[in-house]
Chain A
């Protein structure tokens, strides 16, 4: 498996560290136990396209949001996590 980092180009997966599902969002501090249990422990765990966080530790040290099919390991999209977060914030502001 190779990931195409937006900053470094195509690199072997051994340069990256996996962090899991990129769609979970940290709840507000006072959101209540159920929301926190959900955030910390529960996952959709889909068979198919999965948005996930990878860290390019042996390269540019960026966090990336990768869309990868968990059935085939084919990667359809890689973006900087920062850009994804910014886009989300702008959407929220509209």
Chain B
């Protein structure tokens, strides 16, 4: 699938309803062996439900799930060999750390020596060998998180699933664990799905990000592509900052359109027909001060300047209160001041156009 390798985990046409509520609507997703895909989306969009379907903890109404070519749609969770790290970690309180990590192997009735070796290896991987005999209650949040991971790894699952596995950790520990987790997953070459609603986490960790909304995958692509080539208005808005201007398509020619807006006329790639309502948008990084930043230009007055270390985020008020966000380098922002007039420009190639969402009556 990716880089020509065959897909390891395939979700095809999955639909899931709870009573009248359609939580997943014909979801397709193919993940290569060893790839880490993040499900990113707002609360209630169906991320956990999709994960539970892959684990077999919920059954779909329609569609299929295959791992390594084997159809698992109706296979119960204990015969799937899919590991899950739960948000609450779900460690067994009546067992020690080693007892938790050994649990899956003991259920499989592996010989004692083999279990001991696997437990040691899994604990080594998460750097917690020294805690083997501790009771679960005597662990910190970060340690519990790693033990939950070690427990899932010990049985060598085909696929690993993480449901907001890092969200209970404080910021520093979370960032440390993101890097750590990436290292461990690379080391064992596991195929993984990672659920989060933290977009920075998604951008840092993933090989690909699947942006979900209302039970559908809006776009599944590499982090860079999600950011620079959002396929829908939702992706554009949900991941990263952007300037968005509503207008009407004035001309359409050969994959290029002209959109007339209160701020000016902008050119963008797109196939909308003349007369269509459209939103033109761009990312703050593409805007430059002056006229030589590209084919689209706009003028306004500076509303706020936010210093972000090496760069500055400048909010410009253009015609009819429209806001434009520009992320400028230090020397570009050096002689700007709030209230001053400014001219901004950006390349046509970095300008997106989407059909405007229909106004709800």
- The answer to whether A binds B is no
